[in-house]
Structure 1
Amino acid sequence: MIIQLSDHFTYGKLIKFTIPPIAMMIFTAIYSVVDGFFVSNFAGKVAFSAVNLIMPFLMIVATVGFMFGTGGTALVANTIGVGDKEKANRYFSLFVYVAFVLGVLLAVLGFTLIRPISMLLGAKGELLENCIVYGRILLTTLPFFVLQLLFQSFFVAAEKPHLGLLVTGAAGVTNLVLDALLVILLPLEYKLAGAAIATAFSQFIGGVIPLIYFFKQNSSIFRLGKTSFDGKAIFKACTNGSSEFMSNVSMSIVGMLYNLQLLKFAGENGVAAYGVMMYVSMIFSATFIGYSIGAAPVIAYHDGAKNYDELKGLLKKSLHLLAISGIVMLTAAQLLAVFLAQIFVGYDKELVYLTVSGFRIFATSFPFMGFAIFGSGFFTALNDGLTSALISFLRTLVFEVSAVMILPMIWGVNGIWLSIVVAEVMAVVFTAVFLIAKRKRYHY
């Protein structure tokens, strides 16, 4: 059964429609998880720390794809809801072309500045050289990773979420296979480069296949073609997606601060332990992000079509699903903490202990995490980029930065793990305030 944006969404239909984008985001998160597993177990702790140290910077430069994907999708889906499919298709083409060009420019800039940036993040000696090797290899395919992040949203808006899942799955399998071959078989000094090549090639696959699909005649509602420069549309897409851009950039900045604090309080072991937590957290948070990506075009469509009863139903059902998911994730994290730590750092008992104790604290943020992520995405879908950006700004920058700078002075390393929990609780409070204050916007 084909599910269309114009349908009435029950719980079952909403879950079915959002499962593919959830899986897409999980597969994307698995890129880093797979690299982390192979690098940690076969290249060593220093190489593993280098990946964790430079990854936040790489995600910052790639996040323009997520911005144009989420922000552009909101505008395109709303335009379809109004009834102008031709204009929506022109917008789609414009956003793809602009995102790719920006990806090229950022790749060149990042390649040039990777050494001073790595040093700014605290890398020295062997750690610094590893950061440069890993970062430069991934920057060579950055434009295609930007497109992959963009298409994750547009596959849903094109009513082809399952095709998006297949593409992301193909990229993920490519990464897994190449990691197994290159990291295991290459000599020790080349294992980190092998992991980077595996990820870079998978990102190339994830960006090129959708390009080919949308350039050719296809069965979706979009096709890449001629367009004209529309500064107003680009600005609107950037404004809509500014929250997602802000969220990803802020999370990367916070990740850098976490690493700096951990180097201070726990050394390279702290960075490695935090890396394990980030890998697991990325998979759990990917569920919430994927759900928001999947629900956003539906929300935007019904907002454009002025189907406010459906809009209210989508909000209510989403909040219920997020609450249940958060509790399930917390339970799973507590039960699997030791197992997950041993997968990545089982070769070091001290590191396993530090990772498990920290992760059990860190995981208590999961029941709260989904609400702020969805709240930001909800306002993006309503083309209210300012409110969406404010939620993301408070959640990922103001609250987390404040917590990670203050709490370690009171509780040491445990204060670092507790920072994310405090930030997520505060974000839920402010998200609820915005949903209540703006309820007239969605006629609740």
Structure 2
Amino acid sequence: MLSTGGSALIAKKLGEGKEREAREDFSFLTLVSFLFGIAILLIGNIFIEPIVRALGSTDALLPYCVDYLSVSLLLAPAAMLQMMFQTFFVTAGKPLIGLMLTISGGVANMILDYLFMGPFNMGISGAALATGIGELIPAVIGLFYFLFTRHSLYLTKPVVRFQVLKESCFNGSSEMVTNLSTAVVTYLFNITMLKFLGEPGVAAITIVLYGQFLFNALYMGFSMGVAPVISYNHGSQNLPLLKRIFKICIGFISISSILITIMALVSSPVIVEIFTPIGSATYDIAKTGFFLFSINYIFAGINIYSSSMFTAFSDGKVSALISFVRTFVLIVLNILLLPYLIGVNGVWLAVPAAEFMTLFLSVYLFYKKRDVYHYL
């Protein structure tokens, strides 16, 4: 919420030539983000077992959930800063640095996963620590970069402007809704799968959702990368370039959606095998589910981009509407309805159905707002 909503406001101010104000706002939002991380660390650890049980953990899963979450919560401030800097490196015109830090964190995570869970025999806590260190690396390096460089955007003495915080929260509410909805939807997937297929079903849906993160990463990364460019040109009123950017984005998303969908459908058995061996109950469930679930990628790209684009225009209301309808309302309705109409396949088709329905809303809002932001 703070990173995407704030970056749109700050990129717009940079486009308007208000560089000092942009730096002060960036510093203020970074401080607020860090303090939120501290609050999550404290509250989460105090109420960790009730939280885990409320999210549907069985007695068999409870110790693993508590072990993983307790370590993750200790590094919550780093997770907050990592997300902030990942977005603001793009706003600062240094997307390559942000990309390299994100990759380095991911590679460190993978290597440490093996070391902590394998030779060091740290179990599920080791996996959580590996993830946390993977977030800590870009957070610390990003902090040093924005503290000690002096380009257009860097950390300075923060100036408390609650109006900026309010606008950032409102403007970034769509991204907040997307992440909160993911948590709620994961909970619904888990309890539905427990009912239909037991704990192997929960493992299978987890594999499929990992696949979703993998394939949606292109849409998310592209939308995040192009958003500051849209905000900057919106702020400077460079309408010809804004129209050109929109056409390029729609073309790229359309072509990549087809390619990603084909790739996901074809590679579904291989991806599932990475997580669980052939012949296991989880593999058989996940293989079928992954194939059906992959239909959603043909529609998801446009929906993700449309929400991000309106965030870039500082139109948090429209952006939040798309995200809320896409990631919460329609998915929840489909999860609750489809399994009782067509059985377990309804669980896998809930997301494709929701993405398909949201596509009509995205296209409608593209058309409705064309004269407001002049991208057509």
Amino acid in structure 2 at the alignment position of 1:229: V
Matched, 1:122 2:61: no
| C-alpha displacement of 1:186 | 3.5
Question: In structure 2, what is the Cα distance between the partners aligned to 1:313 and 1:325?
Answer: 18
Name 1:212's counterpart in structure 2.
144
Maintained 8 Å contact 2:116/2:127: yes
Name 2:372's counterpart in structure 1.
441
Q: Which ranges of structure 2 fall in alignment gaps of 5 or more residues? A: none
Name 2:294's counterpart in structure 1.
363
Question: In structure 1, what is the Cα distance between the partners aligned to 2:149 and 2:325?
Answer: 43
Maintained 8 Å contact 2:299/2:355: yes
**Equivalent residue of 1:207, what SS?**
helix
Question: In structure 1, what is the Cα distance between the partners aligned to 2:170 and 2:58?
Answer: 38
Name 1:144's counterpart in structure 2.
78
Question: In structure 1, what is the Cα distance between the partners aligned to 2:246 and 2:354?
Answer: 23
Maintained 8 Å contact 1:288/1:370: yes
Amino acid in structure 1 at the alignment position of 2:311: T
Maintained 8 Å contact 2:56/2:187: no
1:294-318 alpha-carbon deviations (Å, 9 max, x no partner): 0100000111111112112211211
Maintained 8 Å contact 1:312/1:442: no
| C-alpha displacement of 1:347 | 5.6
Name 1:153's counterpart in structure 2.
87
1:77-104 alpha-carbon deviations (Å, 9 max, x no partner): 1001111111111111111111111111
Question: In structure 1, what is the Cα distance between the partners aligned to 2:21 and 2:218?
Answer: 31
Amino acid in structure 1 at the alignment position of 2:370: R
**Equivalent residue of 1:212, what SS?**
helix
**Equivalent residue of 1:236, what SS?**
helix
Of 168, 171, 174 in structure 1, the residue corresponding to residue 102 of structure 2 is: 168
| C-alpha displacement of 1:350 | 2.4
* Percent identity for Structure 1 against Structure 2: 37
CA RMSD of aligned residues (A): 1.1
1:379-398 correspondence runs (5 A): 379-398=310-329
TM-score by length of 1: 0.83
Amino acid in structure 2 at the alignment position of 1:118: V
Question: In structure 2, what is the Cα distance between the partners aligned to 1:442 and 1:201?
Answer: 41
Maintained 8 Å contact 1:145/1:206: no
Question: In structure 2, what is the Cα distance between the partners aligned to 1:382 and 1:300?
Answer: 6
Matched, 1:307 2:231: no
Question: In structure 1, what is the Cα distance between the partners aligned to 2:14 and 2:149?
Answer: 19
Of 202, 206, 221 in structure 1, the residue corresponding to residue 134 of structure 2 is: 202
1:24-49 alpha-carbon deviations (Å, 9 max, x no partner): xxxxxxxxxxxxxxxxxxxxxxxxxx
Amino acid in structure 2 at the alignment position of 1:73: S
**Equivalent residue of 1:225, what SS?**
coil
Name 1:79's counterpart in structure 2.
13
Matched, 1:411 2:345: no
Question: In structure 2, what is the Cα distance between the partners aligned to 1:422 and 1:347?
Answer: 29
Question: In structure 1, what is the Cα distance between the partners aligned to 2:57 and 2:182?
Answer: 19
Name 1:22's counterpart in structure 2.
none
Question: In structure 2, what is the Cα distance between the partners aligned to 1:91 and 1:80?
Answer: 11
Of 41, 44, 47 in structure 2, the residue corresponding to residue 110 of structure 1 is: 44
1:282-339 alpha-carbon deviations (Å, 9 max, x no partner): 0111111111110100000111111112112211211111111111111111111111
Matched, 1:182 2:116: yes
Question: In structure 1, what is the Cα distance between the partners aligned to 2:260 and 2:108?
Answer: 28
1:99-127 alpha-carbon deviations (Å, 9 max, x no partner): 11111111211111221111112212231
Runs of 4+ in structure 1 deviating by more than 3 angstroms, as ranges, are none
Name 1:245's counterpart in structure 2.
176
**Equivalent residue of 1:125, what SS?**
coil
Q: Which ranges of structure 1 fall in alignment gaps of 5 or more residues? A: 1-66
Q: Higher RCO, 1 or 2 (CA under 8 Å, sep at least 6)?
A: 1
Of 269, 273, 276 in structure 2, the residue corresponding to residue 342 of structure 1 is: 273
Amino acid in structure 2 at the alignment position of 1:366: Y
Name 1:135's counterpart in structure 2.
69
- Count of aligned positions: 375
Maintained 8 Å contact 1:103/1:143: yes
Of 89, 99, 108 in structure 1, the residue corresponding to residue 33 of structure 2 is: 99
Question: In structure 2, what is the Cα distance between the partners aligned to 1:115 and 1:302?
Answer: 48
TM-score by length of 2: 0.97
